[in-house]
Chain A
Amino acid sequence: MATEFRLLLRSRLTLAGLMILFAAAGIALWLGHTEMQRQHAEIERAAALQAEQRTHLGYATQDDVAAGSVGYYTFHEVADPPGPWSFLAVGNRQVMPPVQRIRLLGLEAQLYEGESRNPERAVAGAFDFAFVVVFLLPLLAIALAHDLLPGERERGRLGLLQSLAQAERSFWSQRLLARLLLLFASVGLPLIGATLILQRPVTSLLALLVGIGLYTTFWTALAGWIGLRWRNLSSTASAMALLSIWVTLVMIAPTFANAALARSVDADLGGEIALEHRRKVNDAWDLPKSATFEPFFASYPEWRDTAPVTGRFHWKWYYAFHHVADEHVAPKVARYRDALAQRAEATRMLGVVLPSVAMQNLFDGLADNGIDRVLAQRSAIRAFHTRLRHHFYPYLFDDLPFDHSAHAAMPSFEPPQRTPRQDALAWIGLGASGLLALFLVVRSLDRRVRRAAARYALR
Chain B
Amino acid sequence: MTHLITAVAGNEWRILVRERTFLPGAIALLLLLLVSLAITLERYQAVHEKQHEHTARADADWQAQPDRHPHRVVHFGDYAFKPVGPLAHFEWGVEAHTGQSIFLEGHRQNAANFSDASESTALLYFGQLTPAFVLQTLLPLALIFFGYGAIARERESGLLHQILAGSPSAAPLLLGKWLALAAAGFAALLPLALLALVAVVTTPEHALRVAMMLAGYGVYVLIWSGLIVTVSGLARNAHGALLGLLALWIVLCIAIPRVLPELAGQRHPAPTHVETQLLAEAALREVGDSHNPDDPYFNAFRTQTLERYGVERVEDLPINYGGLVMAEGERLTSEAYAQASERVFGQHARQNLWVDRFAVVSPHLALLQLSRSAAGTDTEHYIHFLRASEARRYAMVQALNELHTYEIAFQNDRDQRLGAAAWDAIPRPEYAPPDARFALARSSGALSILLGWLLATGALLSWLTRRLERAHGN
Contacts and interface: CB of A to CB of B under 8 A. Distances in A.
A130 B111 CA distance: 30
B270 A38 contact: no
B121 A370 contact: yes
Nearest to A124: B261
B166 interface: no
A129 B72 CA distance: 51
Interface string B77-95: 1010000000000000110
A49 B276 CA distance: 10
Given A34-B266, A115-B273, A347-B123, A127 B54 contact: no
B435 interface: no
Contact of B269 (A27, A38, A279): A38
Contacts of B382: 119
A119 to B, nearest CB: 4
A268 B273 contact: no
Contacts of A98: 272
A347 B94 CA distance: 22
Given A278-B103, A282-B72, A118 B270 contact: yes
A42 B271 contact: yes
B188 interface: no
A247 interface: yes
A270 to B, nearest CB: 4
B265 A121 contact: yes
B307 interface: no
B261 A268 contact: no
A123 B101 contact: no
Contacts of A263: 42-43, 46
B290 interface: no
A56 B239 CA distance: 70
Interface in B252-277: 254-255, 257-262, 264-266, 269-277
Contacts of B348: 118, 120
Given A116-B344, A124-B261, A239-B242, A360 B278 contact: no
A300 interface: no
A114 B99 contact: yes
Interface in A260-290: 261-263, 267-268, 270-272, 274-275, 278-279, 282, 285-286
A312 interface: yes
B126 A360 contact: yes
Interface in B5-35: 20-21, 28, 32, 35
Nearest to A266: B46
Interface stretch (B179-187, B279-287, B452-460): B279-287
B339 interface: no
Contact of B93 (A123, A262, A361): A123
Interface stretch (B112-120, B220-228, B397-405, B443-451): B112-120
Given A53-B278, A236-B148, A312-B414, A118 B351 contact: yes
A374 interface: yes
B352 interface: yes
Given A236-B242, A247-B138, A125 B125 contact: yes
B58 interface: yes
A275 B39 CA distance: 28
Contact of B112 (A99, A114, A126, A262): A114
A262 B120 contact: yes
Interface in B133-150: 133, 137-138, 141, 145, 148-149
Contacts of A92: 117-118, 120
Contacts of A126: 125, 258, 262
Given A279-B61, A343-B121, A356-B126, A274 B98 contact: no
Contact of B282 (A52, A116, A120): A52
B259 A127 contact: yes
Nearest to A356: B126
B122 interface: yes
A52 B283 CA distance: 12
Contacts of A117: 270
A126 B266 CA distance: 12
A49 B239 contact: no
A250 B259 CA distance: 18
Nearest to A146: B243
A95 interface: yes
B118 A95 contact: yes
Nearest to B249: A243
A268 B127 contact: no
Interface residues of B, number: 102
B127 A116 contact: no
A275 B61 contact: yes
B126 A258 contact: yes
A374 B258 contact: no
A95 B114 contact: no
B386 to A, nearest CB: 9
B390 interface: no
B305 to A, nearest CB: 26
A14 B250 CA distance: 16
A113 interface: yes
Interface in A229-270: 234-237, 239-240, 243-244, 247, 250-252, 254-259, 261-263, 267-268, 270
B258 A259 contact: no
B428 interface: no
A228 interface: no
Contacts of B271: 42
A154 B239 contact: yes
Mostly, the B contact residues are helix
B66 A374 contact: no
Nearest to A122: B97
B468 to A, nearest CB: 21
A303 B417 CA distance: 31
Interface string A356-381: 11001100100000110010000000
Interface in B400-431: 414-415
A122 B76 contact: no
A247 B379 contact: no
Interface in A62-104: 77, 89, 91-92, 94-101
A386 to B, nearest CB: 22
Contacts of A278: 61, 76-77, 103
B306 interface: no
Contacts of A312: 414-415
A60 interface: no
Given A123-B93, A123-B96, A259-B43, A49 B379 contact: no
A130 B258 CA distance: 13
A207 to B, nearest CB: 18
A148 interface: no
Contacts of A49: 275, 278-279, 282
A293 B271 CA distance: 41
Given A56-B285, A119-B97, A350-B123, A275 B54 contact: yes
A8 interface: no
A210 B133 CA distance: 33
A240 B118 contact: no
Contact of B128 (A42, A50, A255, A274): A255
B35 A256 contact: yes
Contact of A239 (B46, B98, B113, B243): B243
A435 interface: no
Nearest to B275: A46
B330 to A, nearest CB: 18
Contact of B275 (A45, A56, A96): A45
Contacts of B242: 236, 239-240
24 contacts: A46-B278, A53-B281, A77-B274, A91-B122, A95-B115, A97-B273, A114-B99, A118-B261, A120-B261, A120-B351, A120-B372, A121-B261, A121-B262, A124-B257, A236-B148, A237-B20, A250-B126, A251-B126, A256-B129, A258-B121, A268-B50, A274-B114, A312-B415, A360-B126
Given A251-B127, A262-B120, A275-B79, 11 more contacts: A31-B266, A89-B122, A91-B125, A92-B120, A112-B118, A119-B382, A143-B246, A235-B239, A278-B61, A282-B76, A343-B119
Closest 7 CB pairs of A and B: A270-B114, A254-B126, A119-B94, A258-B123, A255-B129, A114-B113, A49-B278
